[in-house]
Amino acid sequence: MPPLTSVESAARINLRWIVRLRWGAVAGQVITILIARQFVRRPLPVVPLLGVCAALALANLAVQIWLDRGGRPTTGLAP
């Protein structure tokens, strides 16, 4: 394994993991909506539900792009 040339901050590493977890959550929500549509006896508002998932996916994408461009999250602690 080649040596790291730069050390990524703990906040950036944590945010990258959060984004990965949120991608999994979005996928799980979409799958749940599509499966529930088949089993629920009443019509579901599938388009609005998938719209919320799309908004979450866009937020994830925005954070990922921001991180890839060198965004530096704060730790939330006072200086």
- Would you list the domain boundaries of the chain? 13-68
**Quick one: which of 51, 11, 46 has its CA closest to 32?**
46
What one-character DSSP code corresponds to residue 74?
A: -
Percent of the chain with pLDDT over 70: 84
- pLDDT recorded at residue 76: 65
Residue 36: strand, helix, or coil: helix
pTM of the model: 0.76
Phi/psi of residue 64, nearest 5 degrees: -60, -45
Name the more confident of 63 and 7: 63
Query: pLDDT tens digits for 39-75?
Result: 988 889 999 999 999 999 999 999 999 999 988 887 6
pLDDT score at 5? 46
pLDDT score at 33: 96
- In this structure, which amino acid lies at residue 15? L
Contacts of 30 (CB under 8 A, 6+ apart): 50, 53
